[in-house]
Amino acid sequence: MKNLLQSLVFGLVAAISLPSFVLAKGVASVTAPGGGVPQEYEISIASTQETLYVRYGEDDMFILKKGNCQIEEELQVCTGGEGKLVNYGVSEAIAYESLMVFTNTTNKTLTVPGSAVTMEPNTVLLELLNENGRYITVMGRIDANNPDDLSEN
């Protein structure tokens, strides 16, 4: 797991070239298979202990039921789960090759274990590589604990 974590975190640092993030709104970055210029989306995030909700449009949401979670250096670190996209009420399961979710619900800045990436209080970092080779990074502040409270983008 440590090698996977280091690879994903290194990819994130290389992609955004920043050691930490503080965002008023969250950002999702999607890179097509084989590279290229990532597409970015402004997002809103809701998170509970069990589920992460990422709203990226008026009727568009990514929902991840977190799995294989543990606490590492005060961060909740999840390496599995079940993801789905919900577009206009229609759900589609998301298959992935690798997944990492880091959640900082403390009131202090924390460092992602084994990396130089820091996370401000009340933030989430998600990295997902889907089975088609699309690389997705989501990062930002937790806007709500209930997905019904998320603003539309």
What's the pLDDT at 122? 93
User: Higher model confidence: residue 41 or residue 4?
Assistant: 41
CA–CA distance, 93 with 71 (Å, rounded to integer): 27
For the cut 50, the answer to whether the pLDDT of residue 22 exceeds it is no
Average pLDDT in the chain: 82
β-pairing, 135-141 vs 26-31, is: antiparallel
Residue 123 reports pLDDT greater than 50: yes
The domain segmentation of the chain, as residue ranges, is 2-149
Range of weakest confidence among 18-22, 60-64, 129-133, 141-145? 18-22
Q: What is the 3-state secondary structure (H, E, C) of the chain?
A: CHHHHHHHHHHHHHHHCCCEECCCCEEEEEECCCCCCCEEEEEEEEECCCEEEEEEECCEEEEEEEEEEEEECCEEEEEEEEEEEEECCEEEEECEEEEEEEEECCCCCEECCCCCCEECCCEEEEEEEECCCCEEEEEEECCECCHHHCCCC
Which two three-digit tokens encode residue 35?
């590279």
pLDDT for position 56 = 87
Instruction: Inform me whether the pLDDT recorded for 94 exceeds 70.
Output: yes
